[in-house]
Amino acid sequence: MVDRSKDAAPLQVALIGYGFASKTFHAPLLTNVPGLRLTHIVSSDAAKVKKDYDVTVLAKAEEAFALPEIDLIVIATPNITHFDFASKALNAGKHVVVDKPFTNTLAEATELVKLAKNRGRVISVFQDRRWDSDFLTVRQVVASGALGDVAHFESHYDRYRPEPRQRWRELPGPGSGIWFDLGPHLVDQALQLFGRPEGVYADLEMQRPRGQATDYFHVILRYGRNRVILHGASLVVAETPRFAIHGSLGSYTKFGMDPQEEALKQGEIPGAAGWGQDPQTGTLITKKGDGFDKRQVPNVPGNYLAYYEGIRDAIALGAPNPVTPEQALDVINVLETGMKSSAARAELPFDPIKL
C-alpha cells in the first residue's frame, strides 16, 4: 500500500444502489479507508440509507454523475444496469468501480474498457475475494512449491438453498443465476493462480424444481495436463471442501468460508483487531521419505479493505489498479465462453480479446 499525504483531500465517492452488496460490502469498506469519503448514495429508500450513514441521498444515478465534486462512482446495482451506468459515469469524467460481474456480455465489457482508456479514467471490478483469507493462503501454498506441479485444482462455492427467492438474481434474464453471481469469484481466483486457460467446458443447470435461473455449475478449465474445476450448487447439505489441490508432491484441502462477509453482516468494523482471521486451517499433506507429512497451515489474514486502498492509490497516485480492466475482460470471457460451452455440451477454446 502506498501512503498518501495527510494533507491530501480525500477522494469523494458516490455509491449507486443500496441493496445487499452496498449495505454489506461497499459502504462499510468505503467509510473505513483513509483517503476516501463516501458523500452520496443513490437509493429509492432514503430512510434506509439515513439510518446507516450521514450522506446525501440521491434519487437517480444521473444526479451523481453530474456532480463535479465526485471523483469515484461505485456501481452496485442489478447486473443489467452495469454497462449503462458505467458508460455514463465514464463519459461524465468519473473513475468507476463496478461490482462483479463487470457486465452481462463480453461486447459490453470490451466497450467499457476502451471507453475508460479513451477518457483516461480508472475502471475496475470489485473482486473482493482475491483478499479472502483462504485464497491468500492458497496462493502462498501454491507459490511455495510444497505441492510440486499442480495437476488438479478444485474450488467450490456450495450452498443449501432448496427454495428459490423472489429477487432479480434468481429470475430469468441476462446476468441472473449463480454462474454470474458466484462464478466471477471462482473464475477470477483461478485466473490469478493459473492465468488464461486453453479451453473451457461448462455444465450449467437449473436443478431446483421451481428454479428460473442457473443454480448449478460445474466448469473445467484446461491448462495442458492440469485441470481446474469450479463448482457451485444450491442443493448441497453436507460440507464440501472450499479448496482441494493436488500436485506431484502433495495435497492441500481447506474447509469453511472466509469470515469477512459474515463479520460485515454482523456490523463489525473492517480493519478492527482480529479482522479477517480464519480459525479453520487447511491441511497440507506432502511426501516425506517413504511416508507422508501432515500438518495444518495457518491462514493468512483476509483484508477486503486492500481493494479500496488500491483503488484510492490508483486514482490519486497512479499506482497499479488492483483489478485491471484486462483481468475483468478475461473473467467475462470465461463466463460467456462457459455459457456457450454448456449450450453446445462441448469444450470450447478460450480466445483472449485483443484490444
Co-location of 94 and 164 in the same domain: no
Co-location of 118 and 179 in the same domain: no
DSSP string across 237-258: -S---SEEEEESSEEEEE-S--
User: 293 lies in a domain?
Assistant: yes
- Residue 19 is part of a domain; what is its CATH number? 3.40.50.720
Co-location of 253 and 317 in the same domain: no
Co-location of 278 and 199 in the same domain: yes
Co-location of 116 and 216 in the same domain: no
Co-location of 67 and 113 in the same domain: yes
User: 3 lies in a domain?
Assistant: no
Q: Given its phi and psi angles, is residue 284 left (phi above 0), alpha (psi -120 to 50 degrees) or beta?
A: beta
User: 5 lies in a domain?
Assistant: no
User: 6 lies in a domain?
Assistant: no
68: burial class by Cβ within 10 Å (0-12, 13-18, 19+)?
Answer: exposed
User: 47 lies in a domain?
Assistant: yes
pLDDT of amino acid 170: 85
Co-location of 106 and 138 in the same domain: no
Count of the separate structural domains present in the chain = 2
pLDDT of amino acid 7: 57
pLDDT of amino acid 5: 42
CB 207: neighbour CB atoms within 10 A?
A: 12
d(CA 21, CA 17): 9
pLDDT of amino acid 222: 98
Among 172, 159, 200, residue whose Cα is nearest residue 339: 200
Co-location of 112 and 200 in the same domain: no
From residue 221, give the alpha-carbon distance in Å to each of 137, 154, 170, 203, 299: 21, 10, 25, 12, 26
pLDDT of amino acid 245: 98
Among 104, 83, 308, residue whose Cα is nearest residue 213: 104
Co-location of 81 and 146 in the same domain: no
Helices (H) and strands (E) in the chain, counts: 12, 15
Co-location of 240 and 298 in the same domain: yes
User: 299 lies in a domain?
Assistant: yes
The ranges of the chain with pLDDT < 70 are 1-7
User: 49 lies in a domain?
Assistant: yes
Co-location of 181 and 223 in the same domain: yes
Structural domain including 29 reads: 11-128+306-324
From residue 258, give the alpha-carbon distance in Å to each of 92, 303, 327: 37, 10, 23
